[in-house]
Amino acid sequence: MGPELQILGSNSAAFAHRRHHTSQLFRIQNQLFLIDCGEGTQLLLKKYQIKISKIDHVLISHLHGDHYFGLIGLLSTMHLFGREKELTLIAPPGLAEIISLQLKHSQTWLMYKINFVEWTPDEVELVFENQQVTVHTIPMDHGVPCAGFLFREKEKKRRIHREVFSGLDLSPLEINRLKIGEDLVNPDGSIKHKNKELTLDPLPQFSYAYCSDTKYKPGIIDQIQDVDLLYHESTFADDMEERAHGTFHSTAKEAASIAKEANVGKLILGHFSARYRELDVILEEAKTVFDNTELAIEGTKFEISNKG
């Protein structure tokens, strides 16, 4: 199964119209990343039957409350449920201090270690890497230190063509050579098997960019060019363009224009203002600029398919 994004909360500053504050869950190659953790995130995790013990990485975009006020509650619950394995918290400067102060004054001594990875504002930084995935920050323009996150799968190995391969007696070393694209050679240097006869092309690599919160910032287009899936905040519709600019937020059309210029596969809009009970206007305005757009409705899962 390819990567999958599940929307937990998708509203901006205030809880309204049954929409919670921002939070999402991104699954890639058995890793579970919680992206932002607004108030109520724990309840949403429970509602959608997600085991919090499986979350090993939490990424926080910035320190406005709608993106992290649920964090201390979640950290405490992990502790009460007996968590012992380390949790990585990818966070803006200041969050480590806030959390340690909250724990200190409640005299809570966590049974697990928090590994803080503090990113540098206004820089593109690698904040996570394993054998399959990298995560870089995307500097946002939001009046306070704020970062989006770009997830990219690493290049995958070639796949063994089982049907052709079954009659051959190959060593593990030879199989590894095939997977990295080499031909198999005899001791005299002649070709024993051509790579292309025994392997299939690697599965596609997927990418996801999370961009919240930000003023319209065309400067990010190069970095997110051609991603399969883009989440971009669209706090307001066109009627509130001036307010969007004054509060360092984007309109739906601006989010769609970023998607179009970056040639992404699909755009998801979120971080809606409480002033919109119905979100049709946000979706319709965006679609006039970039058609493959959907709303971040709570609970929705987006399977990420390769844009090709």
The binding site for Zn ion (CB under 5 A) comprises: 12, 64, 66, 213
Measure CA of the first residue to CA of the last residue in the chain; give whole Å. 17
Tell me the sheet residues that pair with 87: 114
Least distance to Zn ion from the beta carbon of 11, Å?
Answer: 9
Q: Which of 36, 66, 213, 228 is catalytic?
A: 66
- Of 39 and 213, nearer to Zn ion (C-beta) is 213
Nearest to 142 by CA among 11, 275, 232: 232
Rounded to the nearest angstrom, the gap between the alpha carbon of residue 174 and the centroid of all alpha carbons in its chain is 36
Least distance to Zn ion from the beta carbon of 75, Å?
Answer: 20
Spell out the long-range contacts of 283-289 with Cβ–Cβ below 8 A and sequence spacing 24 or more: 283/252, 285/237, 285/238, 285/251, 285/252, 285/253, 285/256, 286/234, 286/252, 286/253, 286/255, 286/256, 287/256, 288/253, 288/256, 289/253, 289/256, 289/257, 289/259, 289/260
- Of 144 and 203, nearer to Zn ion (C-beta) is 144
- Of 21 and 152, nearer to Zn ion (C-beta) is 21
Instruction: Give the orientation angle of helix 95-105 with respect to helix 71-80, to 10 degrees.
Output: 50
- Written as six digits, the tokens of 255 are 């989010």
Query: Catalytic: 66?
Result: yes
31-56 b/e with 16+ CB inside 10 Å = b? bbbbbbbbbbbbebbeeeebebeebe
Least distance to Zn ion from the beta carbon of 65, Å?
Answer: 8
- Of 19 and 64, nearer to Zn ion (C-beta) is 64
- CB-nearest residue to Zn ion: 64
d(CA 87, CA 92): 16
- Of 60 and 184, nearer to Zn ion (C-beta) is 60
Least distance to Zn ion from the beta carbon of 5, Å?
Answer: 18
- What amino acid positions are annotated as catalytic residues? 66
